[in-house]
Amino acid sequence: MTPEQFFRPDILAASAYHVPAFEGPIKLDAMENPYPWPAEMVDAWLDHLRRARPNRYPDPQAPALKAALRRFAAIPDRAELLLGNGSDEIILILLTALVGQPDAKVMAPEPTFVMYREIARWLDIPFVGVPLRADFGLDPDAMLAAVERHRPRIVFIAYPNNPTGNLFDADVIEAVIARTPGLVVVDEAYAPFAQASFMERLDDHGNLLILRTLSKLGLAGLRLGYLVGAPAWLTQFDKLRLPYNINILTQLSTEFALRHEAVFRRQTDEIRRQRETLFQELGRIPGVEVFPSAANFLLFRVADAGTVFQRLKEQGILIKNLDPAGGLLRNCLRVTVGTPSENQRFLSALRTILGS
């Protein structure tokens, strides 16, 4: 048997998720926290890791880590947690539950986080994308009509949205939750920068789940995501989780990191300040249309995104080129908010490229 005979035609025709290799000094493409841990914190962390026993399996339920997350994220007492190797694994768990259900559909407004559609495609689950308005807002009529027509089992709503950065109208999200016959997963990957959340509304909606990650906060290398919701739902999803999916180093490191909440609060406060400065400066450059953001990145549009992207890369600055996606993202680029010096080097290079 050959690979061509083994794999489905759509898998053969697809491309693997591409993470570009880059050795330049300024990497602003992946929404990472640009600030390292303080040196004294690193020393204490390495000492903390001495208690790790890598010859033993990690605790599959990770109770100490869950307790730390409850305190950090103010998770309601009645809610349960499900841990994943990043939020990607949790999306996979959620959608795996739909495999074999012939009437199951997944829905999300688009453009949005690509893994909702990609993982649904891997699992051969029909995906319904509902176009955003031209201003990247939710179209309430289109969303509610799609819910009524397709009766989705799961609706994903990124809040704030990636790659656009905006917070959708909370009242529209509430209406979608109320009208959806299945689950609504509000993905709050950028909660540290948004200062807005549906966490306090969990008790109001039996079909609402909250998805979060610690990657954007400053723990991207540890790969930890978590799902919050009613125990009746999470108990069932937990059956689809691989038993040792959170390794001991991630468990110990995250428990340690969350004890230093003040460090990450200072960093996220600074990123929000730099986001506003970067937004204002981009808005002053002729030929640039920049969009408001509640995340740690900014979306902007230029006349020729491909050329701007390539010329920035040649100068050692990597951002995200979204133009290949087409549609509303035509000629759009996304830049992560970096340190003040990184932001200024990016702005200086962009001004030179655009001749301003």
Helix ranges, 151-213 (H)? 170-179, 191-194
State yes or no: pLDDT of 53 exceeds 90. yes
DSSP string, 71-131: HHHT--TT-EEEEESHHHHHHHHHHHTTTT-TT--EEEEES--HHHHHHHHHTT--EEEEE
The per-residue pLDDT for range 211-259, each reduced to its tens digit, is: 999 999 999 999 999 999 999 999 999 999 999 999 999 999 999 999 9
Spatial distance between the Cα atoms of 59 and 222, rounded to a whole number of angstroms: 16
Using 50, 70 and 90 to split pLDDT, how confident is the model at 195? confident
Please identify which residue in the block is written with the tokens 């970096």. Answer: 338
Order across the sheet with 154-158: list the strands: 80-84, 225-229, 208-213, 183-187, 154-158, 106-110, 127-131
Q: How would residue 306 be classed by pLDDT, with cut points 50, 70 and 90?
A: very high
Per-residue pLDDT at 137: 97
Specify whether the CB–CB gap between 167 and 196 falls below 8 A.
yes
Task: Note the pLDDT of residue 298.
Answer: 98
How far apart are the C-alpha atoms of 109 and 204, rounded to whole Å?
Answer: 23
What does the mean pLDDT of the chain come to? 96
| pLDDT over 90 (residue 314) | yes
pLDDT over 90 at 20, yes or no: no
- Please tell me the distance from the alpha carbon of residue 140 to that of residue 142, in angstroms, as a whole number: 6
Q: Note whether 3-30+262-354 and 55-258 share their fold.
A: no
CB under 8 Å to 135, separation ≥6 — which residues? none
Q: What is the pLDDT of residues 59-111, one digit of tens each?
A: 999 999 999 999 999 999 999 999 999 999 999 999 999 999 999 999 999 99
Pairing of the two strands 317-318 and 154-158: unpaired
The reported pLDDT for the residue numbered 21 is 72
The answer on pLDDT for 22 being more than 90 is no
Phi, psi of 297 (to 5 degrees): -150, 165
Helix or strand run (H / E) with residue 139? none
Q: Rounded to an integer, what distance in angstroms lies between the CA atom of residue 48 and that of residue 307?
A: 47
pLDDT band at 17 (very low <50, low <70, confident <90, very high): confident
Per-residue model confidence as pLDDT tens digits over 267-302: 999 999 999 999 999 999 999 999 999 999 999 999
* Confidence at 172, pLDDT banded by 50, 70, 90: very high
Residue 334, pLDDT above cutoff 90: yes
Q: Which CATH class is domain 55-258?
A: alpha beta
Q: Which CATH class, in words, describes the domain spanning 3-30+262-354? A: alpha beta
User: What residue segments make up the domains of the chain, in order of their start?
Assistant: 3-30+262-354, 55-258
How far is Cα 223 from Cα 237, in angstroms, rounded to an integer? Answer: 19
Structure confidence at residue 23 (pLDDT)? 74
Tell whether pTM > 0.85: yes
pLDDT band at 14 (very low <50, low <70, confident <90, very high): confident
- DSSP H helical ranges for the chain: 3-6, 9-13, 39-48, 63-73, 86-96, 114-122, 140-150, 170-179, 191-194, 231-237, 248-258, 261-283, 305-314, 340-354
Q: What is the band of 19 on the pLDDT scale with cuts at 50, 70, 90?
A: confident
Tokens for 285, please give them.
């450059």
pLDDT band at 324 (very low <50, low <70, confident <90, very high): very high
Q: What's the pLDDT band for 18 if we cut at 50, 70, 90? A: confident
Res 133 pLDDT > 90: yes
In terms of Cβ atoms closer than 10 Å to its own Cβ (0-12, 13-18, 19+), residue 84 is buried
**8 A C-beta contact, residue 313 and residue 27:** no
